[in-house]
Amino acid sequence: MADKSKPTMSTIYLYVPNIIGYIRVLMNCVAFAICFSHKGLFSVLYFISFVCDGIDGWFARKLNQVSTFGAVLDMVTDRISTACLLVILSQIYRPSLVFLSLLALDIASHWFQMYSTFLTGKASHKDVKDSSSWLFRLYYGNRMFMAFCCVSCEVLYIILFYLAKSRTEDVFDVLLSSRKQSLALFLLEVLVLFGWAVKQTINIIQLKTAADACVLHDINRKQKA
């Protein structure tokens, strides 16, 4: 007779945080389907989906429903939704290479980090206690600071998408001209630009650190051969 206390595949798929993850995917699908026809609704749906990224983690810890599937679903949803928005921004703004470069950096840094975590046998990609970078340790060691940086990136991208009036905008002109539209909006942009800059710095540090870990793994493997 099966032990009901042990989780099965179906129960893990139906964990509360994982259900929230499915809702996030659904919201993103709807948001991107209407992004050009209903920019306001897109912005709301996209932001709510992003906020749910923190909510599902809270439920996972509170209900003891932490799962590898949920963690992967969470990260994949984050990466794909941000990637889609960056691709859209690359088609609206010039120079488009800015947004495509941000997309490449985001994917590369997280992929290297996840793979290096697997190689070193760590339980989580957020375990960076042995890093020599104080900023890197602060980012992954302080949930509020990490949340601020992540939210800043998404809010900045949403603002840029919402402010665009045509498909040939200059990103720097739009940011500077917003000061004339609203002082509050301009101050918000300055705040999120700071968080965005820190997040991109973290991505670069993460990419370099994870690449070093992969190379070190190769060296150790060859020395043992």
Q: Is the peptide bond before 17 cis (omega within 30 degrees of 0)?
A: no
Backbone angles phi, psi at 94, to 5 degrees: -120, 135
* Listed range (3-12, 72-81, 96-105, 128-137) with the worst mean pLDDT: 3-12
Is residue 1's pLDDT more than 60? Answer: no
* Listed range (69-83, 149-163, 166-180, 210-224) with the worst mean pLDDT: 166-180
Residue 170: the pLDDT is: 85
Q: For the chain, which domains are there?
A: 9-224 (1.20.120.1760)
* Average pLDDT value over all residues in the chain: 90
Q: What is the percent of the chain where pLDDT is above 90?
A: 66
* Tens digit of each residue's pLDDT (9 = 90 or more) over 90-141: 999 988 999 999 999 999 999 999 899 888 888 777 888 888 899 999 999 9
* Tens digit of each residue's pLDDT (9 = 90 or more) over 147-192: 999 999 999 999 999 888 877 778 888 888 877 778 888 899 999 9
Catalytic residue of the set 53, 56, 74, 78? 78
Under 8 Å between Cβ of 70 and 15: yes
Q: Which residues have C-beta within 8 Å of that of residue 38, sequence separation ≥ 6?
A: none
* Tens digit of each residue's pLDDT (9 = 90 or more) over 21-31: 999 999 999 99
d(CA 164, CA 171): 9
Residue type, 145: F
DSSP characters over 90-138: HHHEESTHHHHHHHHHHHHHHHHHHHHHHHHT-S-TT--TT-S-HHHHH
Is residue 4's pLDDT more than 70? Answer: no
* Residue 53 is among the residues annotated as catalytic for this protein: no
